[in-house]
Amino acid sequence: MTLQRSLIATTIAVFAFSSNAMALDAKSELQELLAPISTLQAEFQQHVLDANGELVQELKGALALARPNKFYWHSDAPDELILVADGQAVYYYDPFVEQVTISAQSEAANQSPFLLLLDAEASAWADYEVSNEGLSFQLQPSESAEQQSLQVNFVAKEEQPAQLNELILDDGQGQITRIRLRDVKTNVALPYTTFSFQIPENAVVDDQRSTQ
């Protein structure tokens, strides 16, 4: 499994009552900051650090989202990867090996806090404790320290809503992924084809969706 697939496709504490109330407030505040965003598109730069703080991967590309449940990610060559969530399924395409992996989006959202940002109503929110310091929000899994945690950072804008500008994922085993956004545009019309993935003719397909 590649670093990028681990970042997108996979996703600690037990608090006293007062801490739970604080977490609930932080969760509501984060959802309120996300609520005005109907669409977002941006360029990104990603750095992946190992448990010793050494840089193991650096890449850049473009992403887009349309709430409540659509997402697009395309990293540039030589580490080209494409991920599309269309509301029902998540398509992960690695052009280098010409393989498409398909998973049910509901299952992917339960595994990764990253996809929670798309849907304020997702049941998986209940699996994370949310805390914050100002405009920096931390999502920690409630039960397993081995699941991904996510830090969501906003920057204040004059006379405008705070803008999402950085995501930091911890895979629970010491690997840290920092995704810095730039040229962020929100609430602009995006073509429906942005979130529609067409499987390349010669690609090998690994469909992991349940047959039930």
Q: Looking up tokens 């590649």, which residue turns up?
A: 2
Q: What is the pLDDT of residue 159?
A: 74
The answer to whether the CB of 118 falls within 8 A of the CB of 152 is no
Q: If DSSP codes are grouped into helix, strand and coil, which group holds residue 1?
A: coil
Q: If DSSP codes are grouped into helix, strand and coil, which group holds residue 190?
A: coil
Q: Looking up tokens 């504490």, which residue turns up?
A: 13
Q: Look at the domain 19-206 and name its fold.
A: outer membrane lipoprotein receptor (LolB), chain A (2.50.20)
Q: Could you tell me if residue 174 is left (phi over 0), alpha (psi between -120 and 50 degrees) or otherwise beta?
A: left
Residues 6+ apart with CB under 8 A from 93: 81, 82, 83, 84, 99, 100, 101, 197, 199, 200, 203
Type of residue at 59: L
Q: What is the pLDDT of residue 110?
A: 60
Q: What is the pLDDT of residue 12?
A: 21
Asked if the peptide bond before residue 68 counts as cis, ω within 30 degrees of 0, the response is yes
Q: Looking up tokens 């699941």, which residue turns up?
A: 147
Q: What is the pLDDT of residue 136?
A: 94
Q: How is the chain split into domains, by residue range?
A: 19-206
Q: Calculate the alpha carbon distances from 112 to 134, 141, 186 in Å.
A: 23, 10, 23
- In tens digits, the chain (212 residues) has pLDDT values of 454 554 444 322 222 222 333 445 898 899 888 888 899 999 999 999 998 999 999 999 999 999 888 999 999 988 899 999 998 999 999 999 999 999 988 777 666 667 777 777 777 788 888 999 999 999 888 876 566 888 999 998 877 788 999 999 988 888 999 999 999 999 999 998 999 999 999 999 999 987 54
Q: Looking up tokens 């995704």, which residue turns up?
A: 179
